[in-house]
């Protein structure tokens, strides 16, 4: 069932993002008088199609992308050695040719796809805050350690409860959000951690372990009292009778003082556990067996801690401000991650492809509407920004060539553009193979 939900969620997320992107190219092309031969969601063999006017609208077998095929889009479609062939090409077709349009029209068409993705994010983020954003308050708190997982990278180097993390590889750690980011981006990659205990500062090298989603895990957790938050349907905790607000006091007789200690013990394997909770001053015990989740690749009982999500609702004006601040924060974060990847400071193992997106989409869908919309807004923002990077084969690469044309007053050599784009496309293919391999290693190995 989880796999089915993941596939459906993946199709919805990817379908919306691709459709919005290609709709941007299509709409502006039409507005500029450019003919459109094909509007396709996906690549490869046609699964379904209908022709309306001059345009074939179709869905293809390979869902990872889409395209708008415009009249005269290919450099040599109606051109030989820079000269248009009016005797061989109908004048009406030439009039609708992309390459015959003014520079400002061509630039507008190229940038329209990413602009639509940014517009979608611009709409979704404020909407999310109005619907009730689950604010994980601990992320804004100082990175004081509440629990260290046994036999974890942090435990091996001697980090203890109540230590304050100061920096990771020179990056200052102001709060838990910073710490999770710096550790999460370094699976299998050694990092220098500075931390304070009482008045003494220590430095240790640790190597975060990769998780099932490819992020790094050092075994560090915030202070989290073991109170039960959301109890999910169709999971052992609810079936056993555990309720929201219960305080976990022991598992199989072992006393519990931190939610993360409880979670690690109870989800270690499928063996039956006896969980004792305090409810309205009474101790109650429940026996349950954790359920294996293919999607999460771990055992779960289906509960969250009360600190993990506190919904906050905002009016339109405040939601707009919060939404724009979140867009700015995520954009800055994306820049930081790209810079770190290029500098080889962060691990490429964190990058994910279709399988990882499907996993995350399924998790978000099962968590509710707001997490699902947040994921869609986040991915749309990423797509809008990344696609406009001045890299060959991306819209940003073509836009860069047009920028050179605007400055020089001359069209860039089409043969050079095609050659550069082919190299860029090959690099993108290699990149896709890398992230797909990452997916394979995480999910199947």
Query: How many CB atoms neighbour CB 326 within 10 A?
Result: 20
Q: Are 338 and 431 in contact (CB under 8 A)?
A: no
Contacts of 445 (CB under 8 A, 6+ apart): none
Exactly one of 2, 22, 280, 418 is catalytic; name it.
22
| 148 SS3 class | strand
Residue whose token pair is 């890299």: 391
Q: Are 274 and 286 in contact (CB under 8 A)?
A: yes
Measured CA to CA, the distance from residue 389 to residue 377 in angstroms comes to 19
At residue 162's C-alpha, the angle toward residues 158 and 167, to 5°, is 70
Residue whose token pair is 């004048």: 91
Task: Compute the 3-state secondary structure of the chain and give helix, strand, coil in percent, each to the nearest 5.
Answer: 45, 25, 30
Q: Are 220 and 145 in contact (CB under 8 A)?
A: yes
Measured CA to CA, the distance from residue 238 to residue 222 in angstroms comes to 25
Among 387, 264, 379, which residue's Cα sits nearest to residue 330? 379
Q: Looking at beta carbons, which pairs linking 355-358 to residues 24 or more positions away fall under 8 Å?
A: 355/436, 355/439, 355/440, 355/442, 355/443, 356/213, 356/214, 356/435, 356/438, 356/439, 356/442, 356/443, 357/10, 357/13, 357/14, 358/6, 358/7, 358/9, 358/10
Torsion, Cα 260 261 262 263, to 10 degrees, reads 50
Measured CA to CA, the distance from residue 415 to residue 393 in angstroms comes to 14
Q: Are 78 and 98 in contact (CB under 8 A)?
A: no
C-alpha pair distances (Å), 57 with each of 48, 49, 112? 8, 5, 19
User: Is 141 designated active site?
Assistant: no
- Catalytic amino acids? 22
């Amino acid at each position: 069932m989880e796999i089915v939900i993941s596939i459906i969620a993946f199709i919805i997320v990817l379908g919306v993002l691709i459709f919005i992107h290609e709709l941007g190219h299509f709409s502006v092309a039409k507005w500029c008088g450019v003919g459109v031969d094909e509007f396709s969601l996906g690549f490869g063999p046609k699964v379904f199609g209908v022709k309306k006017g001059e345009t074939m609208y179709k869905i293809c077998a390979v869902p990872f992308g889409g395209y708008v095929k415009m009249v005269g889009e290919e450099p040599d479609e109606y051109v030989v050695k820079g000269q248009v062939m009016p005797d061989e090409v109908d004048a009406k077709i030439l009039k609708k040719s992309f390459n015959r349009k003014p520079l400002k029209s061509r630039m507008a068409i190229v940038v329209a796809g990413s602009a639509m993705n940014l517009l979608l994010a611009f709409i979704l983020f404020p909407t999310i805050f109005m619907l009730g954003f689950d604010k994980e308050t601990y992320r804004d708190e100082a990175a004081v350690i509440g629990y260290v997982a046994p036999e974890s990278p942090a435990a091996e180097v001697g980090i203890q409860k109540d230590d304050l993390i100061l920096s990771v590889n020179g990056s200052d750690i102001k709060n838990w959000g910073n710490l999770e980011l710096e550790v999460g981006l370094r699976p299998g990659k050694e990092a220098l951690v500075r931390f304070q205990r009482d008045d003494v500062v220590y430095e240790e090298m640790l190597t975060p372990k990769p998780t099932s989603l490819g992020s790094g895990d050092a075994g560090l957790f915030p202070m989290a009292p073991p109170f039960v938050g959301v109890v999910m349907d169709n999971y052992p905790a609810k079936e056993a009778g555990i309720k929201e607000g219960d305080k976990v006091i022991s598992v199989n007789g072992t006393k519990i003082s931190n939610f993360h200690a409880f979670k690690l013990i109870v989800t270690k394997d499928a063996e039956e556990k006896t969980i004792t909770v305090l409810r309205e001053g009474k101790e109650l015990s429940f026996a349950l067996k954790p359920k294996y989740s293919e999607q999460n690749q771990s055992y779960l009982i289906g509960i969250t801690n009360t600190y993990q999500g506190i919904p906050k609702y905002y009016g339109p004006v405040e939601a707009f401000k919060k939404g724009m601040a979140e867009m700015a924060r995520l954009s800055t974060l994306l820049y930081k991650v790209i810079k770190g990847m290029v500098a080889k400071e962060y691990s490429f193992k964190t990058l994910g492809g279709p399988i990882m997106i499907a996993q995350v989409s399924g998790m978000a869908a099962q968590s509710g509407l707001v997490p699902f919309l947040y994921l869609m807004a986040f991915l749309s923002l990423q797509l809008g920004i990344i696609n406009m990077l001045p890299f060959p084969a991306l819209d940003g690469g073509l836009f860069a060539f047009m920028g050179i044309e605007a400055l020089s007053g001359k069209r860039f050599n089409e043969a050079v553009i095609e050659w550069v784009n082919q190299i860029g496309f090959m690099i993108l293919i290699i990149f896709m193979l890398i992230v797909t391999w990452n997916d394979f290693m995480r999910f199947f190995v």
